[in-house]
Amino acid sequence: MKITTTSILLTAILASGCAIAQTPPAAGLVTERSISLGAAMELATAGLERCRADGYKVTVTVLNRHARAAVVLSDDGVNPHTVENSMRKAYTAFTTRSPSGEMAKRTQPGLAGFMLLDRITSIEGGLPIFSASKELVGAIGISGAPGGEKDAACAQAGLDRIARSL
């Protein structure tokens, strides 16, 4: 599936509908913070730019607070598997609240069952996104560089770009 500007805009429009209203909490309601669409786009763009500068064609997926895709950027000529793999990396980082590569370091036997869950991976390149108050607000996953550590470095460059706005 080729990601086009139209599909990026559609994803962005759909994701913006998931924004949490900033109203005072009332009984029976939950107030949550989520990465904004603008920050997600800046994060994804910065990660893509870093990978391009390093000579890699990648796909970048940024998830919001509800583990839904806020932004997906897929570079020209990128391998098709990178779309799913970047999502898996971001989803793993989100659900475990740690870098996706940390899954490979966890001990057995409890990990075996967890690894069978949909969208879970142990490949590096996914990072959780925390607010300044340490609240989980999203995740980023990058796939396509020759080695997960390179994907993770590009994701970190994106996080560094938006860190002050979190």
For 1-13, the pLDDT digits (tens) are: 455 544 444 444 4
Check whether 124 has a pLDDT greater than 90.
yes
Return the CATH number at 58.
Answer: 3.30.450.150
Q: How many residues does the chain have?
A: 166
In a domain, 95, yes or no: yes
- What's the CA gap between 78 and 87, in Å, rounded? 15
Residue 25 φ/ψ region, left for φ over 0, alpha for ψ in the -120 to 50 degree band, beta for the rest? beta
* 143 sits in which H/E element: strand 136-143
Confidence at 70, pLDDT banded by 50, 70, 90: very high
How many domains does one find in the chain?
1
Average pLDDT for 19-24: 52
Question: What type of residue is 139?
Answer: A
* Residue spans of alpha helices (H) in the chain: 5-16, 37-53, 81-96, 110-114, 148-162
What is the number of H-type helices and E-type strands within the chain?
A: 5, 4
96-107 tens-digit pLDDT: 999 999 988 887
Whole-number pLDDT of residue 4: 52
Percent of the chain with pLDDT over 70: 84
Q: Residue 56: which domain range?
A: 5-16+31-165
Confidence at 108, pLDDT banded by 50, 70, 90: confident
Name the token pair of 52: 């391009």
Check whether 24 has a pLDDT greater than 70.
no
Global model pTM greater than 0.85: no
Check whether 25 has a pLDDT greater than 90.
no
When the pLDDT of each residue in the chain is averaged and rounded to a whole number, the result is 87
In a domain, 23, yes or no: no
In a domain, 62, yes or no: yes
In a domain, 26, yes or no: no
Confidence at 55, pLDDT banded by 50, 70, 90: very high
Whole-number pLDDT of residue 101: 93
In a domain, 21, yes or no: no
Whole-number pLDDT of residue 113: 77
In a domain, 22, yes or no: no
Percent of the chain with pLDDT over 90: 71
Whole-number pLDDT of residue 115: 82
In a domain, 72, yes or no: yes
In a domain, 92, yes or no: yes
Radius of gyration of the chain (CA): 16
Give 69's strand partners: 63
- Please identify which residue in the block is written with the tokens 């000579």: 55
